[in-house]
């Protein structure tokens, strides 16, 4: 059954994304009114994205991520250099990827099917954040090593999935 316009626009991932973006805004160092205006601006961009996605036109549907990205950019611009706020920006960006997978025009359960697509960026954000804030400053090379290790693991997964890369062409004659 085709979902209603509200159902098409108001996805669970959009709610999560808007909440994360609001948390980012409330972590900013702006004054009360400016913070409220920023929050309204970010919510407006999210609403714009949702409305574009619910629109019948294909071109509008394709441009839906643009206002949402703008909203995230606005929120990130005012984020102070604080560990929790930065982590929230990263998680909001991951929620944005999950929102892309939660498309009402495609078969259901997109977020579950695309779990690997958003969990890999989540891993990258987690590693970057942990190496920046959880490790002592003297152990920065350890963070770099952790990043390299993660990259190696990704390459390994890629190579294991493509065994034909190790195959060599057989001789032309016996």
Partner 1 sequence: MTGGVSARETFRWRSRSFLLFGAGAASLAAGVLLARPAFLYLALPLLTAPLAATLLGPQRAPTARLTWAVEGSAQEVRVAGTVTFDRPTNPRDIEIEFSTPPGLTEDRPPEVERAGSELRFILHWSASAPVVVPVPFPRAIWVDPAGLVERPVRWSPTPLVVERYPVELVHIGAVRLERTIAAPGEILSRRIGADGEFFGIRHAAPNEPPRRINWTATARTGRLMANEYQLERTGDILLLLDARPTSLGRTVDAELLALSAAAAYGIAESFLREKARVGLGVYGEFLDTVPLAGGRTQRVRIKNALLKVRLTRSPGPDERCALSLRRYFPPGVTTIVFSSLADDESRYLVPYLRRRGFPVVVLSPSALPILTARPTLSAEEEELVARLAKVVRRDRIARTWEDAPVVDWNDYWSLGGLVDLLRRPGRRGRGV
The residues of the shown chain that bind partner 1, judged by CB under 8 A, are 62, 65-66, 69, 72-73, 76-77, 79, 81, 85-87, 89-90, 92-94, 96-97, 100-101, 103, 106-111, 113-114, 116-118, 120-122, 124-125, 128-129, 132, 154, 157-158, 161-162
Among residues 9 and 102, whose Cβ is nearest to partner 1?
102
Nearest approach in angstroms of CB 173 to partner 1 is 25
Among residues 39 and 97, whose Cβ is nearest to partner 1?
97
In SS3 terms, 18-86 reads as HHHHHHHHHCCCCCHHHHHHHHHHHHHHHHHHHHHHHCCCHHHHHCCHHHHHHHHHHHHHCCCCCHHHH
Among residues 116 and 174, whose Cβ is nearest to partner 1?
116
Nearest approach in angstroms of CB 165 to partner 1 is 10
User: How far, rounded to the nearest angstrom, does the alpha carbon of residue 19 sit from its chain's CA centroid?
Assistant: 14
3-state secondary structure of 1: coil
Nearest approach in angstroms of CB 76 to partner 1 is 4
CB 34 within 8 A of CB 91: no
Among residues 163 and 174, whose Cβ is nearest to partner 1?
163
Task: Read off φ and ψ for residue 104, nearest 5 degrees.
Answer: -70, -20
CA distances in angstroms from 30 to 25, 91, 92, 158, listed in the order given: 9, 21, 20, 44
Among residues 10 and 115, whose Cβ is nearest to partner 1?
115
Nearest approach in angstroms of CB 162 to partner 1 is 5
């Amino acid at each position: 059954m085709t979902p209603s316009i509200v159902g098409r626009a108001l996805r669970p991932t959009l709610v999560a994304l808007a909440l994360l973006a609001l948390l980012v805004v409330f972590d900013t160092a702006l004054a009360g009114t400016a913070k409220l205006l920023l929050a309204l601006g970010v919510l407006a961009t999210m609403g714009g994205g949702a409305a574009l996605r619910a629109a019948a036109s294909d071109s509008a549907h394709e441009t839906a991520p643009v206002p949402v990205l703008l909203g995230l950019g606005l929120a990130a611009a005012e984020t102070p250099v604080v560990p929790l706020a930065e982590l929230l920006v990263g998680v909001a960006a991951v929620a944005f990827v999950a929102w892309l997978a939660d498309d009402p025009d495609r078969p259901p359960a997109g977020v579950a099917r695309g779990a690997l697509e958003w969990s890999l960026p989540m891993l990258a954000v987690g590693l970057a954040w942990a190496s920046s804030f959880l490790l002592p400053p003297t152990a920065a090379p350890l963070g770099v090593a952790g990043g390299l290790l993660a990259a190696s693991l990704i390459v390994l997964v890629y190579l294991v999935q493509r065994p034909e890369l190790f195959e060599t062409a057989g001789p032309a004659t016996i």
